[in-house]
Each structure stands twice: as C-alpha cells, then as structure tokens.
Amino acid sequence: MDITIGTSTVAGEAQAPPSKSYTHRALLAAGYADGATVKAPLVSADTKATMRAVTAYGGSVDRSDEQAIEVDGFDGRPETPDTVIDCANSGTTMRLVTATAALQDRLTVLTGDDSLRSRPQGPLLDAVGQLEGRAESTRENGQAPLVVGGAVDGGSVAIPGDVSSQYITALLMAGAVTDEGIDIELTTELKSSPYVDITLEVLADYGVTAERTTDGFTVAGGQSYDPAGGEYHVPGDFSSISYLLAMGALAAPEGMTVTSAVPSAQGDTAIVDILDRMGATLSWDRESGEITVERSELSGIEVGVEDTPDLLPTIATLGAAADGVTRITDAEHVRYKETDRVSAMAEELTKMGARVEEKRDELVVYGEDSELRGTTVDGKADHRIIMSLAVAGLVADGETTVTGAEHVDVSFPNFFDLLESLGAAVER
C-alpha cells in the first residue's frame, strides 16, 4: 500500500499506542508464568509473533477482550513446538524466544521473513552454546533459520553488548527459570542500555529479581514469574510518541497534545529533551502523562543514539527541517534493524531535497542546505522509516508518496488514521 501525504498542519489530541518493547516482554513473561493478564497491550504484527511463540511453547493466548490479553502460561517449562516458529519481521520475538527454545529438551526451529533472516543472531547462538545447549544457524552464517534446544540449566556466558541488547534480555528472561541462573559478562560496551532497563523493570513487576554487576548482569535461577494480582499494565510507547511530537514541532501552529506519555524506563523518552534542545516549544506533565507541543523554529544539534537507536529516523527528519546542522552519532548499530536505517534515511531524505552525509557511525543532516519537496520515497518495509518520512511529508512542498506504508502495523497500526484525524492530507 502506498500513502500520499500533502503539505499539512495538524492539531488536536493524539493518544500514543502502547509500548511494543514492554508488550513483547510482558507477553513472554506471562508465558514463563503460570499465566497473567496483560492489560492495554499493543496488538501489532510484531507482538502477534510473540503471542504465536508463547502458544507454540505450550501456552495459550486469548484476545477476546480488546483491552487485555489473557495468557495461560507454560510455567517455566516450554514444550517442544509442533512446527516451525515463524517470527515474521520481529527481531525482538526471535531473540527473546531463542533463549526460551534453549530450555526445552528437543529442538525448535525459528525463522522469519527475508529481512529477519538477514539480521545477526550469532552472539546469542554462541551464548546458548556456552550454556551447553545446541544453537545453530542452518546456513552457518549466524542468521535464521535457527535450530535451538538442549535443556540448558544455566551457567555463565560472555557476550558482546554492542550488537543487540536483546541478547541480554533473552538470557535474563530465560535464566530466571533455569536451575542455576545465568551470569552474563559483557565483552564490549553495552549499546541500547535502556532496553535492558525495561527488561529489569518488567521482570521486577513479574516478581523476578535480576540485576547489574560490575561487568554485566546476573539473574538467579529457580524463580517464578508471578505479577501482583496476576496483571501487568503496558505503558505508552515513546518510540511511537517521537513521531507525534515531531509532527507537532513541525506542523502544529496551534499546538497538539500527546497522551499516554507516562514516565518509564524507556530510553526513547530522550525525544523530549532532544526537541527541547532543538528549540521546540513543549511541556510534559509527567503526572497526567500529557505532552503539549507546537510548531517551532528548530535548530540542529548533535545527538548520540547509542542508547536510543529507534530515534534516528525521527531525529533525521527533524534535522532536515531545522536550521543548521544535525549530527547523529554512535549510530553503527542502527544499521542492523529491520533495514539499514542510517542508509535508508540518507537515501530517502536526499530524494526529498535534503543534504545528508552518511558515515559508518554517523548521519549528518544539513538543514540549512535542505529544502524538502514532495516525491515518491521507499519506506523500505520498515515501520520507523515509513512514519518518519510521512512526518517529513507534512512540511515538504507538494505531495510525498511513501511506498509499503502497510508496514506501520508492526508498531503503530492506526498511524495514518490518527494522522488524518489530526488534520493532515492523507490519500490511500
């Protein structure tokens, strides 16, 4: 599906979708438990993949209530799936449930779409091997399809921290139900650290203790997942909020309000500070979870995204519409997402008239030399690229057509409906 965005202003109130990161973890934690109710979850293509995995391991998922998901868990003892687990495009699903697969006696096969089968899984496979489990790439290239099993009992692993924090999350979540627990030594600096903070927060809410150590993380074995009252409530998603705040700062002369912006461990809350540094007029009522923002004259800044990789497309779009230079640093790991997001934003913003310089670990956007104009851009089948380019379309001269726009269903299924309700010119 292609979506065309015309030059537009927006106004009104926008509710952020629930957090994808928290929903993934909450669903799998409910699977590790005897069961739990996950309230206000994000139901999207990615989180449906995690639901399928929980079911494959012997749990069950009831979505009859639109506001909650009832999970009957496998109580820390996953069964061997009857068939291959298809993780579709969800890297989070694949990594988290790869560690689950290592707990069962026999073998699980995990795969996904073309994009997911190109993403690195090698360090996690190696970690399972260190725990005396079996974990192999069928093509022997560290990429899916994967074959995993071995009934690991816990132990110690050494693993790099600069490829994906999801490896750490996977090991911590599975480690809690092993006999011995798992000690994780990081061999390189941890990138995307706030995502592990999210994991620690969710684990604590499910009654599981895990903690940082001087050189990594540790989780004791023999623990049970048991949230208070049998329920877990998912907060709003700040990765998704970033697009709403960006469209407000660029295209809301009368202001707009974003709701469900409740403080949490999400690193992407940094978007509020980033916009403030760029000169946006905004305020955050943390108690009510509301952020108001209005169209502002923005200036370029330097931003490191070592801990907030999902913000790179949003920041690049803001930089293309700002005065001065926006330099996005510490970005190499952003190349290993659904697509190479550094190159994707460089290519597509350039098509729109931005002057962009791509380096291995940086993306530099020269807003002062950029004049955005409508054209056809490739969404790269990546939800974050699609939404960022749609925001750019609001302030581009003429009409901007974004291809493959249906992929927003990964994290923000009603994005274009919401954009249209705020007053934007949206043509399907």
52 annotated binding-site participant: no
Per the confidence metrics, is the pTM higher than 0.95? no
Start-to-end CA span in the chain (Å): 8
Q: Is 165 annotated as a binding residue?
A: yes
> Whole-angstrom Cα distance, residue 98 to residue 103?
9
Q: Do the bridges between strand 60-62 and strand 85-86 make them parallel or antiparallel, or are there none, so unpaired? A: unpaired
State the DSSP H helix or E strand holding residue 62, giving kind and residue range, or none if neither: strand 60-62
Does 119 belong to an annotated binding site?
yes
Question: Looking at domain 3-17+236-427, what is its CATH homologous superfamily?
Answer: Enolpyruvate transferase domain (3.65.10.10)
Q: Is 341 annotated as a binding residue?
A: yes
Judge whether 310 counts as a catalytic residue. Answer: yes
Token pair for 252 = 């809301």
Smallest CA-to-CA distance from 101 within 70, 68, 119, 74 is with 74
Map out the domains of the chain as residue ranges: 3-17+236-427, 20-233
The catalytic residue among 46, 72, 310, 382 is 310
Strand boundaries in 334-387, DSSP class E:
355-358, 363-366, 376-378
List the one residue out of 303, 238, 247, 244 whose CA is nearest residue 267.
238
**Strand segments (E) across 112-195:** 134-137, 146-149, 155-159, 182-186
CA 167 from chain centre, in angstroms, equals 14
Reference 58, options 41, 44, 39, 71; nearest CA is 71
In a structure prediction context, what are the per-residue pLDDT tens digits for the chain, which is 428 residues long?
999 999 999 999 999 899 999 999 999 999 999 999 999 999 999 999 999 999 999 999 999 998 999 999 999 999 999 999 999 999 999 999 999 999 999 999 999 999 999 999 999 999 999 999 999 999 999 999 999 999 999 999 999 999 999 999 999 999 999 999 999 999 999 989 999 999 999 999 999 999 999 999 999 999 999 999 999 999 999 999 999 999 999 999 999 999 999 999 999 999 999 999 999 999 999 999 999 999 999 999 999 999 999 999 999 999 999 999 999 999 999 998 989 999 999 999 999 999 999 999 999 999 999 999 999 999 999 999 999 999 999 999 999 999 999 999 999 999 999 999 999 999 99
**Same CATH topology for 3-17+236-427 and 20-233?**
yes
In the three-class reduction of DSSP (H, G, I as helix; E, B as strand; rest coil), residue 423 is classed as coil
The answer on whether 240 is annotated among ligand-binding residues is: no
**Annotated binding residue at 39?**
no
181, containing H or E segment? none
Q: Does domain 20-233 have CATH number 2.30.40.10?
A: no
